[in-house]
Every structure is written in C-alpha cells, then in structure tokens.
Amino acid sequence: MMISLRSSTLVNNVQRIWKRWTDDNGSLLAAGVAYYGALSFFPLLLTLISGVGLLLKFTSAGRNAETELLNAVGSQLSPALQVHVAEALDQVRSGAQTTGPIGLVSLLFGAMAIFVQFETAFDIIWNVEPPESRGILSAIWRVIFHRGLAFLMLCGLGVLLLVILILGIALSAATEYSSSILPGSDRLWVVVRLGIPMVLDAAVFALTYRWLPKVHVRWTEAIRGGIFASIIWEIGRYLLTHFLIGTRYSSAYGVVGSFIAVMLWIYYAVTVLFLGAEYIQCVCRNCDRRVEGISPRLEAE
C-alpha cells in the first residue's frame, strides 16, 4: 500500500512538472539560452583561461591553464566534450588573432546576453510580472543594472570554475600521496572522485535557485531542487556521452560538429536547470499556494 501511494505521488508530481514545463514553453526557453550559450561559450572560456593563468601563474596549473581547464571539462562533464571544446577553441583563437582584441571584447560583451536570457526565462518560470515602464531613463538604468549584474555573474562563474580546478588538482595530489603511504586506498579515492562531481553539481544548481530568481527561494527548496537537478544531470550526462553524442559529431563534421555538440550539451544543461526550477514550483511549493514575490496567477493554477 505504501509503495503504491509513493508511486502514485511520483507519477502525479511528474505530470505536474511536465504540465508547467509545457505551459511555460520550457523547451523554447532552453533553446534560446542554449543559442546564446553556444555563442558565448568560447569567448568566456578564453577569458577564463587568461584569468586562471594570471591568478596561478607561479604554479604548473597556471602555466598550463588551458590544459587544466580542458581536463576539468573532461572530468566534470565528458571526455568527448573535452575533444569538441579543444577543437573549436583552436578555431576561435585563430579567428581572434585575425579580428584582434576588439572583436574578442565585443564577443565577451555579447556573452553577457546569456545571463539576461537566464533572467528572462526565470521570470517566466517563477511568474514574475514585468516591471512597469517609467520612461526612457528608467529603461536605460535597467539595462545598465542587468549588464552589471551579468558581469558579476560572469566573475562568479570564473571563481566557481577556478575552485573546481583547484579542487581537482588537490584531489590528484591527495590520491598520489595516499597511494604511496596507504596501499589499497585507490578504491576509496575512486568513490570520492565519483561522488564529488554530483555534490558540486547539486551545490551549483542550489546556489542558482537560491540567488538568481527575483523571488524568495528558501534554502531547503533550493537544496531539494539542486539534488533533483543533479540526479537528472548525471543520468543524462552518461547517456549523452555513451550513446547520443560521443565523438561522432567532430569526426563527421569537424569544427562545425564540435560546435553542434557544445550546443547540445548546453541545451541539455539548461533544460535540467529549468526542470529543477519547475520541480521547486510544483513539488516544493505544492503548485497551489501563493509565494512571496510571485504573481497571483500561480494560485489560479
């Protein structure tokens, strides 16, 4: 009886999440963010490589910042994606040499548009009403504010990736040290290496749900949504790597295929992020009570 009740609740929750997803045109929102994300990915990556090299210039990781970041992509996401990114990054770098730093800076400013797209999509998912128009000056101020916020998010993303990079280096050093003094400890570190990516994924998703929406999201809700999203992400990451994408795109289509593969990865990541937000709305908030800062339209649903 208990198992039947839990199964019924699970099916009901899935149906409610899917209904909200279709009502909010979640696939269209994810596609829009993925488009900007694919265009923004390589300028952001080049900027992060330069930043990591500057901050860690006296270490081996700093001197090989690009290699370390690509290794982080391979370990945290997929070895196949690491190949795609490396191939496409070479093309972007060669193009940047011909267009000059002005072209790269313009690409970087365009990359900030992805955070504006995230904000717009979250407003739709969380049912946030658009602000009333108060004149041209107010509109200009909103644009400046949102671009500044996007720049801060860009800096935060760089810090987060830097932490992941340093953590990976620390784990590698700890593995080598422990294996030299404690024979047989390799299995323990294998488990740690498998568990840490999921914990990091859940933390990133939870922080995003806690701080990015314009509504108040409690820590308990953000953490539950982060765990939900990280589980879906890990399952999909395995399927994408081993069955759907792999290295077939780069081998068949070259750098264009690598760009397509990166876009597919970004699309899936954004889809998981938005599904986690819908999960918080439907399951954590029961989809029928008024939430502070959210339009009363939520009650009618």
Q: Which pLDDT tens digit goes with each residue over 154-181?
A: 566 656 656 665 666 666 666 666 666 7
Residue type, 74: G
Task: Indicate whether 291 pLDDT > 50.
Answer: no
> What's residue 297's pLDDT?
42
Q: What's the rounded Cα separation, in Å, for the pair 14 and 186?
A: 39
Q: Which pLDDT tens digit goes with each residue over 214-227?
A: 888 889 899 999 99
| 70: nearest Cα among 55, 95, 94, 87 | 87
Q: Which pLDDT tens digit goes with each residue over 228-265?
A: 999 998 888 878 777 666 555 555 555 566 677 778 88
Q: What's the rounded Cα separation, in Å, for the pair 240 and 243?
A: 6
Task: Indicate whether 69 pLDDT > 60.
Answer: yes
Separation in Å, CA 242 to CA 173, 196, 245, 248, 259:
29, 21, 7, 11, 18
**DSSP, res 129:** P
Sorted by where each begins, the domain ranges of the chain are: 15-126+134-300
Its pTM stands at: 0.72
64 phi and psi angles, rounded to 5 deg? -125, 50
CB 96 within 8 A of CB 47: no
CB 96 within 8 A of CB 186: no
Token digits of residue 166: 């340093």
CB 103 within 8 A of CB 96: yes
